[in-house]
Amino acid sequence: MKYYTYFPGCSSSDGGAKAYGSSALAVAKALDVELVELEDWNCCGSTPYTSVDELASLCTSARNLALAEKRGLDLVTPCSSCYVILSRTNSHLKEYPELRVKVGKALAAGDLEYHGTVRVRHLLDILVNDIGLDEIASRVKRDLSGLKVAPYYGCQVVRPGPSFDHPESPQSLDRLIESLGAEATPFPLKARCCGGSLIIPEEDVALGLVNKLLDSAVGGGAECIITVCPLCQTNLDVYQGRVNKKFKTHYKIPVLFFTQLVGLAMGMGIKELGIEKCIVSAEKILAGYIER
Amino acid sequence: METKVQRSKTLVEEICAIPGGEGILDCIQCGTCSASCPNASRMDHTPRMLIAMARAGMREEVLSSNAMWFCASCYLCTVRCPRDIKPTELMHALECLAVRQSLSNERTRTPIMYRSFSDFVYSIGSVPEVGFMTWFYLLSNPLRALKMAPLALSLLKHGRMSIKARRLKPEAERQLRAILDKAEVLGGMS
């Protein structure tokens, strides 16, 4: 049994990526990983908040780290954006002593202190490096051979780093797909940007980026895409229809969370993993494998 | 009698005072950031140009630019910069300075979106997507909300839209508020 403190983030807990959170917990349990949710966590600090009021954003983020420090375990999140923000708070506090003093004073107003000892980790890192691909392969119960999967990393799981994988041509998700028995397809833009939250205020800009990604994934022969971030999944899945409308394209490629694919391979069901929540339906592509 | 006039800070000094902004001094104008940026073609000035303009003291032009607001924080420039100056952080620093001056920017709705988002973090500690989106459309352009209706319906149909916001326990909410109020008294980053 391995133990971690778990930080779901707003989107995977109760937002549009609920299925990410629930499939992550289901898969972790099946792999003997205990993810104990950080009690009364708040927003990670978020990029938007960082850009409007940096000190407040850092303090928001530091409250989570201070709470996690009391438990003394690594803090794991499935959200790439939370991962980057919480890691950035750690490195900012280390790099800028004056800032550390200010944040310390603010935390003290809430009877908290933070000593900078929490290691922030992404769930993909836990699966690939702590549990290990051999162990995961040994738990596979369903034959996924022939399923062509595009591994989409996006940006923030590997950048700015230092991270557990290469910042521009990462491999961990590719290897995970192979260890599940499926096929990782060539995907040149696998670590390029989906536009992130710009999809809301500047939709045209983000749709252009999503279009390129979908084109790259489909061009590599993929039948589905897997992601490691709620925001990436939203942009590629929920906005796929709007990309088709804008660029007169005909994409119909399902976008799963990587935990859903792991769960499928381990024999879990579509409903149990929340796969029916995908806007671009994945059931048809997966049907053949479910019945095997 | 001699009066000492205090000189106001230059733009570069203000940028340097924000953690992560100090890298601006090391830029060699190689353009790697602009070449790596997925959104550079949509910006009124590329990241490299923006840095040059800031160093030339072009305060108004820099702070009213849309460039930093089109940064999606993909960090490609940051991992490639040969001088390790972290252009992504520099963009955040410029956003902070621009916000101190004014929120309105005719060339982008991003500042308003960021503000709606931040309002939620400040008031309840989390970001319920429905509430936040509604707030953003009200603040920016309520008519655009209509265009988003089909997308919202599809999310609802697939069980991906929670109307109810996740709330922290009252004592946790009070704790967060105490921390943020103290942060405000401490007066920002610089």
Mean pLDDT by 10 residues, chain B (190 residues): 73 94 96 98 97 96 94 97 96 91 76 80 79 78 80 88 84 94 81
When scoring A18, A39, A53, A152 by the number of chain B Cβ atoms within 10 A, the one with the most, hence best to mutate, is A53
Handedness of CA B103, B104, B105, B109 (dihedral sign): positive
Instruction: Quote the number of domains for chain B.
Output: 2
- Same domain as A155, residue A116: no
Residues A64 and A41: beta-carbon distance below 8 Å: yes
Segment A5-22 shows an average pLDDT of 93
- Same domain as A210, residue A70: no
Residues A180 and A262: beta-carbon distance below 8 Å: yes
Chain B residues with beta carbon closer than 8 angstroms to that of A16: 129, 155, 160-161
pLDDT number for residue B134: 78
Q: Convert the pLDDT of each residue in A234-256 to its tens digit.
A: 999 999 999 999 999 999 999 99
Query: Measured in whole angstroms, how far is the alpha carbon of residue A12 from the centre of its chain?
Result: 9
- Same domain as B86, residue B137: no
pLDDT number for residue B2: 58
ipTM summary value: 0.95
CATH number of the CATH domain containing A20: 1.20.1050.140
Question: Judging by DSSP bridges, how do beta strands A2-6 and A183-184 pair with one another?
Answer: unpaired
Distances (CA, A) of A203 to A80, A207, A208, A246, B44: 21, 6, 9, 11, 17
Segment A145-173 shows an average pLDDT of 97
CATH number of the CATH domain containing A233: 3.40.50.11810
- CA of B129 to nearest chain A CA: how many angstroms apart? 6
pLDDT number for residue B1: 56
Boundary (domain end) residue, out of B76, B101, B126:
B101
d(CA A29, CA A3): 11
DSSP type of residue B23:
G
Instruction: Quote the number of domains for chain A.
Output: 2
Q: Convert the pLDDT of each residue in A16-70 to its tens digit.
A: 899 999 999 999 999 999 999 999 999 998 876 777 788 999 999 999 999 999 9
Q: Which of A227-231, A283-287, B38-42, B118-122 has the lowest mean pLDDT?
A: B118-122
Q: Which domain holds residue A249?
A: 138-291
Q: Convert the pLDDT of each residue in A112-123 to its tens digit.
A: 999 999 999 999
- CA of B141 to nearest chain A CA: how many angstroms apart? 10
CB nearest to A40's CB, from B95, B169, B186 = B169
Q: What's the number of CA atoms in the CB half-sphere (13 Å) around residue B72?
A: 31
- Same domain as B86, residue B46: yes
Backbone φ, ψ for residue B103 (5° rounding): -90, -20
Q: Residues with Cβ < 8 Å from B12, sequence gap 6 or more?
A: B24, B25, B54, B55, B57
3-state secondary structure (DSSP) of residue A109: coil
- Same domain as A117, residue A184: no
Does pLDDT of A280 surpass 60?
A: yes
- CA of B151 to nearest chain A CA: how many angstroms apart? 7
Residues 60-79 of A with CB under 8 A from B: 60, 63
- Same domain as B118, residue B36: no
Residues B87 and B126: beta-carbon distance below 8 Å: no
Q: What's the number of CA atoms in the CB half-sphere (13 Å) around residue B155?
A: 22
Distances (CA, A) of B73 to A101, A120, A153, B26: 27, 19, 14, 20
When scoring B84, B141, B156, B189 by the number of chain A Cβ atoms within 10 A, the one with the most, hence best to mutate, is B189
Boundary (domain end) residue, out of A94, A122, A150:
A122
- Same domain as A231, residue A161: yes
3-state secondary structure (DSSP) of residue B129: helix
- Same domain as A155, residue A112: no
- Same domain as A9, residue A110: yes
- Same domain as B96, residue B24: yes
Domain contains B5 = no
Q: A106 and B180 in contact by Cβ < 8 A?
A: yes
pLDDT number for residue A290: 86
Domain contains B55 = yes
Domain contains A27 = yes
Q: Which residues pair with A5 in a beta bridge?
A: A36, A75
When scoring B32, B88, B96, B114 by the number of chain A Cβ atoms within 10 A, the one with the most, hence best to mutate, is B114
Q: Is the peptide bond before A160 cis (omega within 30 degrees of 0)?
A: yes
Q: Is the peptide bond before B142 cis (omega within 30 degrees of 0)?
A: no
d(CA B64, CA B100): 12
Number of Cβ within a 10 Å radius of residue A143: 12
- Same domain as A159, residue A268: yes
Q: Which of A91-95, A283-287, B1-5, B66-70 has the lowest mean pLDDT?
A: B1-5
pLDDT bracket for residue A91 (50, 70, 90) = very high
What is the residue whose two structure tokens read 């610089």? B190
Q: B128 and A15 in contact by Cβ < 8 A?
A: yes
Query: Measured in whole angstroms, how far is the alpha carbon of residue B161 from the centre of its chain?
Result: 26
Q: What's the number of CA atoms in the CB half-sphere (13 Å) around residue B168?
A: 25
Q: B125 and A56 in contact by Cβ < 8 A?
A: no
Question: Judging by DSSP bridges, how do beta strands A148-151 and A183-184 pair with one another?
Answer: parallel
CATH number of the CATH domain containing B29: 1.10.1060.10
* Chain B interface includes A164 (CB < 8 A): no
Q: Report the side by side order of strands in the sheet with A33-37.
A: A33-37, A2-6, A75-77, A120-122
Residues B21 and A51: beta-carbon distance below 8 Å: no
d(CA B88, CA B74): 8
Q: What's the number of CA atoms in the CB half-sphere (13 Å) around residue B79?
A: 19
d(CA A12, CA A7): 9
Does pLDDT of A8 surpass 60?
A: yes
Q: Which domain holds residue B140?
A: 110-186
Q: Residues with Cβ < 8 Å from B180, sequence gap 6 or more?
A: A56, A59, A60, A106, B122
